[in-house]
Structure 1
């Protein structure tokens, strides 16, 4: 896989041990010019230095994926400075393990706004630029919870939002295909070391989840990043509207 001359935007890339940072690292290693996006400005700067130290080209843009104006302004700034966005990875996400009877409206809105509305805002903003170039790769982060109705960490709001991402991905794939744009999703199981659980995942719960994984371990950020790198590559140009399970066998369709 070679991403030289490609420009890739990755949301939720501010967390040091997160999936977004690893995606940016892997695409950069293969030649892409990467833009790290997040609301965590300090994390973005750390990420840029890390990629530059590895010899890559990286930029950052502070963007709130739940705010349409912030997204539109950010995408406009990127295209004005770099001329295009070839690859979009909608990675920003948040999860809460709240029982359905205890979910407040504010928490429901938070989970949906980040996980679902953010994917919509970014895709809607980036697609016109991809259509103009007659080329694009979009990958959205779903979750095993959206397929099996929870049972991993997130509550019903998280499962519902991630199931929505799956349906949205398939619809966009159909609409964008005539422009040679592919749109796929990945559905990770539990991935260790990330901040999506906001420190709420106990060691006891983590052990119980791990015991239910046939491959005997939780996922690593590299497991997800390698798969996404393939989906946004030239080699995956005939794959669109698909959802790739990356869960060690904890859920098998």
Structure 2
């Protein structure tokens, strides 16, 4: 595994699921990991907090900084980024992982829900990138990675999920735009999206726990894929929308069987926005 010693990874929404898996992967490589999320107290519905993940990060070999953060608030984001940079001497990787889901069309989506997904998805990507930019400019190998899909204008998806599609495609468009805008700073900007459903609390909420396990992969596939992206050499990979399978295939990993939640299960549900 490549050495992340001395490098700092700032992850939004990393108290469970994919964000937690990404954090632990970075920690195993010796990184400083900032877990910036809202969950400070565990509930019966949601397991894991920024503090429990921080303990796991330390146990895995990394250094942790848990920060309470609501990505909808610019001042909170700026303060969290500054705290992270002060604590660890800089920021090398920003991972826009915080997200909100609404699997409804325009007719069935309330304005409150619409505003929530836009604010947490693409608007927060904008806020976090702007706040982190001064520190990323100073990094020897800076990366921005947003967990969002390739832009797919197929009516199949727009017809049923246009509010959610807008919020996630917005993340992608901003990140691809940053790849070009920040190229002269040497900041690599890419997006990552799962080829299949991933077993997370968000998916289980919509499908049920048992159904989720049958059609999903473990979050670790996204963590491994993310790692292959943010450890690429400066300027080597930027402006790409990759799936986890594509990212892993780039480094010669093409056997994904071990990532299935149920061993030997070959039927996996393709994720949203992928034809």
TM-score (norm 1): 0.85
2:190 touches 2:240 (CA, 8 Å); kept in 1?
yes
After superposition, the CA RMSD in angstroms is 2.8
CA distance in 2, matches of 1:206, 1:72: 36
| Aligned match of 1:195 | 201
| Aligned match of 1:37 | 36
| Aligned match of 1:90 | 96
| Aligned match of 1:245 | 243
1:184 touches 1:243 (CA, 8 Å); kept in 2?
yes
3-state SS of 1:101 partner? coil
Consecutive unaligned residues of structure 1, counting only runs of 5 or more, are 211-216
2:32 touches 2:88 (CA, 8 Å); kept in 1?
no
Consecutive unaligned residues of structure 2, counting only runs of 5 or more, are 42-48, 246-267
TM-score (norm 2): 0.79
- Cα 1:145–1:218 change in 2 (3 A) is farther
1:95 touches 1:155 (CA, 8 Å); kept in 2?
no
| Aligned match of 1:213 | none
Alignment of 1:152-191 (within 5 A): 155-191=161-197
Which one of 55, 59, 69 corresponds to residue 61 of structure 2? 55
Task: Using the TM superposition, give the Cα deviation of residue 235 of structure 1 relative to its aligned residue in structure 2, in angstroms.
Answer: 4.2
2:4 corresponds to 1:3? yes
1:102-146 C-alpha deviation (Å, 9 max, x unpaired): 111111000111111111111110011111346411100103686
3-state SS of 2:115 partner? helix
CA distance in 2, matches of 1:58, 1:29: 12
3-state SS of 1:183 partner? strand
CA distance in 2, matches of 1:12, 1:54: 19
Task: Using the TM superposition, give the Cα deviation of residue 53 of structure 1 relative to its aligned residue in structure 2, in angstroms.
Answer: 2.1
1:62-118 C-alpha deviation (Å, 9 max, x unpaired): 111111111011111111222200011110011022232111111100011111111
| Aligned match of 1:79 | 85
Aligned residues: 242
The range that moved more, 196-205 or 225-234, is 196-205
| Aligned match of 1:132 | 138
1:10 touches 1:20 (CA, 8 Å); kept in 2?
yes
1:196-252 C-alpha deviation (Å, 9 max, x unpaired): 347133479859xx7xxxxxx423211111111011003474110101023779476
CA distance in 2, matches of 1:102, 1:201: 19
3-state SS of 2:101 partner? coil
